[in-house]
Chain A
Amino acid sequence: MASPLSNGRSPLLEVGDLSVDYVTEAADVRAVDHVDLEVQPGEFLAIVGESGCGKSTLLFAIAQLLSPPAEIAGGTVVFKGRDMVKLTEDELRHIRWRDYSVVMQSAMNALNPMKSIEGQFRDTLEAHDSMSRKAIRDRSAEVLHLVGIDAVHLKSYPHQLSGGMRQRAMIAMALLFTPELVIMDEPTSALDVVAQRSLMSQIKDLQRRLGFAVIFVTHDMSLVRHYSDRLMVMYAGQVAELGATGSIFENPLHPYSKGLLDAFPSIRGPRRPLTGIPGSPPDLSRPPSGCRFQPRCPVAMAQCVATAPDLYEVGGTRVRCLLHADAPKDAAAV
């Protein structure tokens, strides 16, 4: 795995002890609970979890796109040395899209149906920079070419493009300023398998050529197997497991990661029974006592109900499970 993990450079993004609450009249619901993570320059980090686990909320918190009733309850998001939580809207405007960009889940909803692709690219470029009309046109054609779409489609409207092309146009738009970090929220979930596979290959290829880091959120663990350097598994607002993708797939430490992996039917090898994971994710306004996965866990012990596990470091992987509590030292300084 050729990930630039141990080269001594400072991380591009450092999320420290980040918590996000949804403030309601009845009670505050903690959707993201004390999350720590870091992203190195050029790294591909995948975040997986089920719906409601807080993965999209975390992503929006990192991108500073939260809107009420969600608010950051504590923690820092240090991007290129500056804590973005403390920046004003005006200060954020200067780094948004130039230094980091976001690709949303549904291109059909994220693109303006009334504007041509060129018009939308122009809006973006003008909002964050002042460029001549020719420079704008040239850059638009260039990024569109990067994602393998012919420049004639600059004149096209979103409805004239196929689903895969729309999603690639969104990615092109995210690359207009060659940012160092591209945040992607399930960009392939609306696509068919074949288009999905080809888009994933293309994202990986662009990343290698242009060197940007990617945070990729998905519910489909198998999708990122071959593309991500590191994997973070989220459950009920918390980090359940965070480590090198290969090692989590080969040796998942958290029972939840293992359950997720065993939930996928395979098209090769012997046909074996799948168990899935019994029950469903907890209601975050009333999280279970102790470990949050304990009510669904096949290997839960008596102490799991009483003690909330910390993140324990086991051979480079951080895991929140009491099975690994006797590991040498705590990784999380909660």
Chain B
Amino acid sequence: MTEATTPVASEPLLQTVGLTRHFKLGGLFSSQILHAVDDVDLTIGEHELVSLVGESGSGKSTIARLLAMLYRPTKGEIRYRGRSVHSLHSRKDLLNYRSQVQMVFQDPYSSMNPVFRVSHGIMRNLKLHRPELNAAQRRAEAERVFTLVGLTPAAEMLRKFPYEMSGGQRQRVGFAQAVAVRPKLILADEPVSMLDVSIRAGILNLMTDLREREGVSILYITHDIASARYVADRIVVMYAGHIVEAGPTETVLADPKHPYTQLLLSAVPDPREPVTVSTSPAVGEPPKVVNPVEGCRFRERCPLAIEICGRVTPRPTVLAPGHTAACHVATANAGLTAAAPS
């Protein structure tokens, strides 16, 4: 069933197959298992900017950590350029993977060591991942990437301590650190959510720039679907550990198939929209997925839920080229509309 959802001609840069991560909750004898990520098939192509969208607790950060090999999957597989990363055992292979897949963290205030100058992190990264460079070349490279991410004059910026920088500048340091080692993929976990509105746009633009100029792929993880639309080629929507919808950005936004995506879109405040105060009833909150039973995880909040949703977990189904949704009703509708013109 996974083969059907991947009609990509060229080999993807990174692919997950049935990726699953469970966490055991409570004490020694507890049998409570939190299903943070369940059965996720995700592909990221070369030079692609994919956005993973979901509410807190939907499992999107867990996916980033699995891809960065900070967690080991409970089940399933991550394939990098066709090769399973779980077969990497030597220090050299692991180091190589980690230099190709870099991570940028959410909180620019706690992800940097406050007692070192900001050059410290980037120099260490270069020493570790690009040992062929000598000290002068490392410095030149650090200055190059600082200029690239808009931290100029680079030589002066490299000498600063984190406390001397604003949140937006620190987040740029995070990207500079990642880009310096020439990665193929950057995992950006909510890189703008802690920044002020007026500087967010700069970081979003930086991501699209880096993709153009350095040719990296980016997985942009966010809860803000509007910023996802701004940067991403493809949007992947997560709910309670499952991918519920995925497709080209404009297609998903113009024609959301999954009722959760529809709910998410209707909740986004849009200052340019004319006034439409709808005192919609409280729609509940995402469940904590502890020891789940079979069935759609959105059914409790779903306005379209039917009988089968309580019995069978819907699988991602291709509804249009490149556009998948995991919803019984959407699938049925697609079937109906396909059959309708007789």
Q: Using a CB–CB distance below 8 Å, which chain A residues touch chain B?
A: 50-51, 148, 162-164, 192-198, 201-202, 204-205, 219-223, 225-227, 246, 249, 259-261, 263-269, 271, 273-278, 280-281
Pair A267/B268 contact, Cβ less than 8 Å = yes
Closest 7 CB pairs of A and B: A276-B201, A265-B230, A274-B201, A277-B198, A192-B55, A197-B267, A50-B196
Chain B 269-293 interface mask (CB, 8 Å, partner A; 1/0): 1111101111111110110000000
- Could you write out 10 A-B pairs with CB less than 8 Å apart? A193-B223, A219-B197, A220-B197, A225-B275, A249-B271, A260-B198, A263-B200, A263-B201, A276-B201, A276-B205
Task: Looking at the assembled complex, report how far the CB atom of B72 sits from the nearest CB atom of chain A, in whole angstroms.
Answer: 28
Pair B263/A226 contact, Cβ less than 8 Å = no
Kindly report which residue of chain A lies nearest to residue B271, judged by CB atoms: A222
Pair A204/B270 contact, Cβ less than 8 Å = no
Residues of B within 8 A of A265 (CB): 201, 204, 226-227, 229-230
How far is B279's CA from A51's CA once the two chains are assembled, in angstroms?
30
Pair B226/A267 contact, Cβ less than 8 Å = yes
Residues of B198-230 at the interface with A, using a CB-CB cut-off of 8 Å, are 198-202, 204-205, 223-227, 229-230
- The tally of CB-CB contacts under 8 A between chains A and B is 125
Task: Looking at the assembled complex, report how far the CB atom of B58 sits from the nearest CB atom of chain A, in whole angstroms.
Answer: 9
Residues of B within 8 A of A273 (CB): 205
Pair A201/B196 contact, Cβ less than 8 Å = no
**A204-B279, A260-B197, A264-B226 known; A197 vs B285 contact (CB < 8 Å):** no
Q: Which of B201, B268, B277 meets A201, CB within 8 Å?
A: B277
Q: Which of A195, A201, A204, A276 meets B200, CB within 8 Å?
A: A276
How far is B278's CA from A180's CA once the two chains are assembled, in angstroms?
25
Q: Which of B205, B225, B278 meets A267, CB within 8 Å?
A: B225
Task: Looking at the assembled complex, report how far the CB atom of B283 sits from the nearest CB atom of chain A, in whole angstroms.
Answer: 6
Is B59 interfacial (CB 8 A cutoff)? Answer: no
- With most chain B CB atoms within 10 A of its CB, the pick from A259, A269, A276 is A276
Q: Which of B230, B277, B280 meets A271, CB within 8 Å?
A: B230
Residues of A within 8 A of B223 (CB): 192-193
Pair B229/A223 contact, Cβ less than 8 Å = no
**A193-B267, A259-B198, A276-B200 known; A268 vs B273 contact (CB < 8 Å):** yes
Pair B271/A221 contact, Cβ less than 8 Å = yes
Task: Looking at the assembled complex, report how far the CB atom of B287 sits from the nearest CB atom of chain A, in whole angstroms.
Answer: 10
How far is B115's CA from A317's CA once the two chains are assembled, in angstroms?
47
How far is B263's CA from A265's CA once the two chains are assembled, in angstroms?
19
Pair B270/A268 contact, Cβ less than 8 Å = yes
Pair A194/B197 contact, Cβ less than 8 Å = no
